[in-house]
Structure 1
């Protein structure tokens, strides 16, 4: 057997070993920005597939097709949720300003799973912090991981 056949078989097994990207069982709530990010990723992956086909790059084609299936499923079950600007309780899409008992502050926007970037100030709606915040008002206290936080402000994103 030639080495070319072995290498192709190795590529096939590597692609098959990756499997499909798992889709979360939770509701796929998204902000307007989150929905735009999903749609942009679908466009990017379609372009990647065209380039990979033109270059005959089967592995890149398979990976892009797999990711396109994932993002297509995420777009299909996306539920756009825009918070009411007049709401006085924490809802999906809002930014919440918090202060702990030591005076440290934090600001979190509650977003969809695919949009969450804690290092940039956004957390998933299924995170423990978001779950503790939902339905709470300014001035109320929550406890997450043994730490108490006071809600000091709510901002409904436009």
Structure 2
């Protein structure tokens, strides 16, 4: 059975592809060269360059495999193509106000491109799930570990076509 698609924005997919290409085309060949050089120096049991290089190569290969799996299952969804722009959907940038009138701006993106410090919230996060389908002026409750919190949707924005 195929894994479910991983929704991602075009910008998020481009970042993943750029990381993959940088690791595969630049970092991995340089590391293989270092390991080869270190292996030629003789005793490998106490050769720090060889031991560290092999460990780093395994980590790098795991990351490349992970990125490859994500990109294979990725389903790129362009928020600019969203026909219903008055509701919160995938790719929407939403301005929220909480009970204390503290405002924050978030963008709902794929789970593989989240960055809470930049306001990028994964679409399966509790806050995003609570907001999907909301319109300007709607209030939504979000269940958080610290308790329930209410948010009002102040503004909804999508990228231009």
- Normalization by structure 1: what TM-score? 0.79
Per-residue CA distance 1:116-141 (angstroms, 9 max, x = gap): 11111111111000000111111111
The count of residues paired between Structure 1 and Structure 2 equals: 134
| Correspondent of 2:19 among 27, 41, 51 | 41
User: How is 1:6-45 mapped onto 2 (pairs within 5 angstroms)?
Assistant: 27-45=5-23
Name structure 1 gaps, 5 residues minimum: 1-24
Q: Residue 140 of structure 1 contacts residue 150 of structure 1 at CA under 8 Å; is this kept in 2?
A: yes
User: How is 1:50-61 mapped onto 2 (pairs within 5 angstroms)?
Assistant: 50-56=29-35, 57-61=53-57
Q: Residue 88 of structure 2 contacts residue 135 of structure 2 at CA under 8 Å; is this kept in 1?
A: yes
Q: Compute the RMSD of aligned alpha carbons.
A: 1.5
Residues 1:148 and 2:150 aligned together: yes
- SS of the aligned residue for 1:114 comes to helix
Name structure 2 gaps, 5 residues minimum: 36-52
Deviates more, 1:26-35 or 1:123-132: 26-35
How far, CA to CA, are the matches of 1:122 and 1:112 in structure 2? 9
Structure 1's consecutive aligned runs of 4 or more residues displaced over 3 angstroms after TM superposition are: none
**Deviation of 1:157 (Å):** 2.4
- Normalization by structure 2: what TM-score? 0.78
In structure 2, what is the equivalent of residue 125 of structure 1? 123
Deviates more, 1:62-71 or 1:52-61: 52-61
